[in-house]
Structure 1
Amino acid sequence: MKIWRVMELINWTADYFKKNGIQSARLDAELLLGHILNKSRLQLYMDFDRIVAKEYLARYRELIKKRVERVPIAYLTNHKEFMSLSFYVDESVLIPRPETEVLVETVLKLQSDGSQVLDLGTGSGAIVVTLAKQRADWKFVATDISPEAIAVAKKNAQRYEVAERIIFLQSDLFESFDESMKFDYIVANPPYISSNEIPTLMPEIRDYEPRIAIDGGPTGLNFIDRLVAEAPKFLTENGQLVFEFGYQQDDTVGNLIQSNPQYTDCDIIKDYAGIERVVVARVGSRGG
């Protein structure tokens, strides 16, 4: 049997991935081998001449096969970094994206003492757990329609010791709430891709990420429409709704909010690529 060393294994895998149309071929090879050997990418290069034991090779081959089938790296390693925190992910939750970090950063800039925050469609819990890590005096409720997603979010909250400040509920948007429950901030990364666009997505997204987390209906706005319409009932005076939306949806989202008299103003925030990505909508005081 051939003896494989770290560097030649990375080189061979990167070449194999490239031939199979995987764009981030070398990075993926490094991440998968690092996962199997429990090494960082830097450590792999420091140990470039290390012989990879047979039992590791067998596991690595399995991951290579699944990656060629376009299973996302994050599901193969059960790991995704988000705002410098490591989150457990599996196929029951959407993989956290860098653009969603803009949503979290936006909420943190709106800080007020002892805020009550509702995270709708929490998925992996990336948003609510990161906020809870950053704001020790805030209280949170996090919901998802999927019990499997709630289990993942709880796992991540326990990992970062914030679970005692987060109430997790299985709910379809606001269905489990009555109007006596009020929040200073309601945050969400709702499904916003139109149904007819989904077949055109990369196979990693189209075939593996949960459809319920990406499919926004015929226009991509099914959940956003409900969110904008229903959120004011659950916001405190001058409370704010903060959510992510899709490419070129900024005008539609802005018009939706401006046409609702319960909102007094809204701001659109761009992501790191300069694309309009997050909206902050404020409701007025109850008196006027």
Structure 2
Amino acid sequence: MAVARPAQLTIRNIITAFSEYLSGKAVDSPRLSADLLAMHVLAISRLDLITEPHRQVSEAHWQAIADLVERRGNGEPVAYLLGSREFYGRDFAVSPATLIPRPETEHIIEEVVRRFSGKGRFIFADLGTGTGCIATTIAAELPDAMGIAVDLSADALAVATANARTHGVADRLLFLNGDFTSPLFRHTSLDCIATNPPYVSEAEYAELSHEVRDYEPRTALVPGETGLEHAALLIRNAQDWLRPDGIFIMEMGYTQAGPNLSCFGDAQGIWHGEKIIRDLAGLDRMVFAIRSRN
């Protein structure tokens, strides 16, 4: 079913029509989706949307927005339709080759900035970089940071590289097409590992919204049956890659704190300061540890 065309094409009328259409579909935030797609096509701000409800919209603009709204109605994420998503105050290009950045991942940035701000030059790795939002943001927030961003997908790395150029930090980042579960780095060569690896179990994946299952790359979400497969390998590799006092911070599923903390405990004497960082919803979201000196 196509979107019903209003008799008069004004901003208010088309937003109402698009919101009503999306409300009848199984999509998240129908009104917000309508607003964002209209703003994108019309090249206007949210303030314009509110203060100029009677502004006329051309037939061409109506059709362009309607085409996007119908795709949204089928479940395609708004970020892919717009080609971008905001992360830590910056816009990042996204594509179907990349996971869409989530607000929860910003806690990684906060912790790294808190640990390294004003401390001078340091080298970090972002493993499973996707859009490059972690690597680019760390480099943008900390001018002394030098980073290596790793991803198995060449298409994702192309997006990440473009994002680093957009935000003026490409000269301090190296983009590496590789498998972060393999021995990529020299012994004690890194000061920080900041990573959002795949951590969704097969059972959890089956229950995800179809907007995620049908559009976002499965390999960026699911590492294996339990969802813990990559985490265990990363923690094991990190104890070799990190320098003494180097930090490890990794996003995880909210039920995975116990198994991930036990990985640090199994490596007796190698780690200290292990902790869980919760997201704004109060859910366990990051695991953190410091490489010991011995």
State the TM-score, normalizing by the size of structure 2: 0.94
SS where residue 110 of structure 1 aligns?
Answer: helix
Identity of aligned residues (%): 34
Partner in structure 2 of residue 164 of structure 1: 171
Q: How far does the alpha carbon of each residue in 1:167-205 deviate from its partner, in whole angstroms, 9 at most, with x for none?
A: 100011053624246110011001111012212100111
Query: 1:97-112 to 2 correspondence within 5 Å?
Result: 97-111=102-116, 112=119
2:22 counterpart of 1:22: no
Question: Matched residues in 1 for 2:185 and 2:84: separation?
Answer: 36
- Displacement, 1:90? 1.0
> Structure 1, residues 26-67: CA drift from partner, whole Å, max 9, x if none?
111000000111112221222211111111122111101110
Instruction: Indicate the SS of the match to 2:161.
Output: helix
**Match of residue 156 from structure 2:** 149
**Does residue 283 of structure 1 match 2:291?**
yes
Matched, 1:43 2:51: no
Residues 1-288 of structure 1 mapped to structure 2, 5 A cutoff: 2-111=7-116, 112-173=119-180, 175=182, 177-180=184-187, 182-261=189-268, 262-285=270-293, 288=294
Between 174-183 and 45-54, the greater mean CA deviation after superposition: 174-183
Structure 2 gaps of 5+ residues are none
Given residue 57 of structure 2, which amino acid in structure 1 is its aligned partner? V
SS in 1 for 2:68: helix
User: 1:271, 1:252 → 2: CA distance?
Assistant: 18
Paired with 1:178 and 1:29, the residues of 2 have a C-alpha distance of 46
Structure 1 unaligned regions, length at least 5: none
- Counterpart amino acid of 2:52? D
Residues 241-264 of structure 1: CA distance to partner in whole angstroms, max 9, x if unpaired?
A: 111000211111111211122223
Give the aligned CA root-mean-square deviation in angstroms: 1.4
Please say if residues 117 and 141 of structure 1, whose CA atoms lie closer than 8 Å, have aligned partners that are also in contact: yes
Distance 2:131 2:122 in 1: 22
CA distance in structure 1 between the partners assigned to 2:288 and 2:27 by the alignment: 36
Aligned length: 286
Deviation, structure 1 residue 78: 0.7
Q: Which has the higher mean CA deviation after the structures are superposed, 143-152 or 53-62?
A: 53-62
User: Aligned partners of 1:162 and 1:47: how far apart in 2?
Assistant: 38
Secondary structure at 2:107 match in 1 = helix
Deviation at 1:124, TM superposition (A): 0.3
CA distance in structure 2 between the aligned counterparts of 1:178 and 1:50, rounded to whole angstroms: 57
Q: 1-side partners of 2:265 and 2:48: how far apart?
A: 52
Amino acid at match of 1:81: E
Q: CA deviation at 1:23?
A: 3.5
**Could you tell me which amino acid in structure 2 is paired with residue 144 of structure 1?**
D
Deviation at 1:76, TM superposition (A): 0.3
Change (3 A) 1:181 1:264: closer
Distance 1:147 1:139 in 2: 21
Per-residue deviation at 1:284? 1.2
Post-superposition Cα deviations, 1:85-140, rounded to whole Å, max 9, x if no partner, equal 11111111000001000111011111132111111000001111111111111111
Amino acid at match of 1:67: R
Aligned partners of 1:255, 1:178: CA distance in 2, in Å? 24
91-100 or 33-42, which moves further after superposition? 33-42
